[in-house]
Amino acid sequence: MSKRTSGSVYVDLVSLAEAAEAPAGPEINVSVGSSSITNGYTQNFGTITVGASSAPVVFSVRNDGTSTLNLGATLGGINPDDFSIDLTGVDLTLEPGESTTASVIFSPTRFGNKSAEVQILSDDLDESPFVIYLSGSAVVSQPNITSLSTYSGLVGSEVIITGTGFTSVDRVEFATGVDALDFSVVSDTEIRVIVPAGAVDGPITVYAGTYSSSSSIFQVLVPPSNLSVSPSEGYVGDEVVISGENLEDTERVTFNGLDADFGAVTDENGNTVIYAVVPEGAETGPLEVRTPGGTARDRGGIRRRGCGCP
């Protein structure tokens, strides 16, 4: 309809509708929830405690083109091990109008800021790969040691640490500053650790990021060694002096298998010296000293006078 009047021109009012046409060829469309996202979109998972996992974020991929869209996906970037992509049931071949979904979870194993990227590969002519950047922050909880399975042990023995907040623990240290290279976080309440070489008496400390917790004193047991006996021969009832290393807390002294009465003193140099009495029935043979750390033998032992030995 049109209308003319003096000095004015009016045109017909026409309602125009454009029919949207699908792009020629395959065309990828990615969305999170109900919102489409662009290539290079960043998905932030927020803050998650180390050892925990985020809720899954679901990405939907639709083919808005006119021909088959073939898909693939890779997970890479700086911290790919802290993220996971679930492609279970994903249809990697989409006909026009079809869609499929995949989900991503953030499960950090160490504290700090984490990042990764998902690359959706396809035969879209201008958006392959379609990159989704992933980010998240991992925090730790305060660990707390409540007890040890034992408060003494040899190098190489196992200690079970009990407490709370262990999920985030990434380091176990023995005194003084000796890291345990062999430990496992069994659960939030249990850690198993092997006493490392070089450890000395002192607390065991666990670390989770900037947090830490220490146990009571753990005694590293060391077997006795370098035994020497003076004199090297004697009669039953004679006293001999036994010197060596790591003789503290000596529990037992034997002469050729027979228990002997003994006592221990500290000499002027701070070393432990044992005085033992040759027991009744002892014959020439090896002398042994036993401590909580183990047993040492002086193979020369002691020669019993009057035994008729060659």
Going along the chain from its start, the domains and CATH numbers come out as 28-139 (2.60.40.10), 144-221 (2.60.40.10), 225-302 (2.60.40.10)
Band of the pLDDT at 16, cuts 50, 70, 90? very low
Buried b (16+ CB within 10 A) or exposed e, 149-184: eeebbebeeebebebebbbbbeebbbbeebebeebe
Contact between 300 and 240 under an 8 Å Cβ cutoff? The reply is no
pLDDT tens track for 47-89: 998 888 999 999 999 999 999 999 999 999 999 999 999 999 9
Range 127-144 average pLDDT: 95
Average pLDDT over residues 21-50: 92
208-242 residue pLDDT tens:
988 999 999 999 999 999 998 999 888 899 999 99
| Helices and strands per DSSP (H, E), number in the chain | 0, 30
How high is the pLDDT of residue 282?
A: 86
Q: How far apart are the first and last CA of the chain?
A: 140
Query: Given this model, what pLDDT does residue 15 score?
Result: 43
Amino acid symbol at 179: D
Cis peptide before 23 (omega within 30 of 0): no
pLDDT band at 5 (very low <50, low <70, confident <90, very high): very low
- Is residue 139 within 8 A of residue 102, CB to CB? The reply is no
The overall average pLDDT reported for the chain is 89
- The answer to whether residue 17 scores a pLDDT higher than 50 is no
List, as one string, the DSSP characters of 193-214. Answer: EEPPTT--SEEEEEEETTEEEE
Whether the bond into 295 is cis, omega within 30 of 0? no
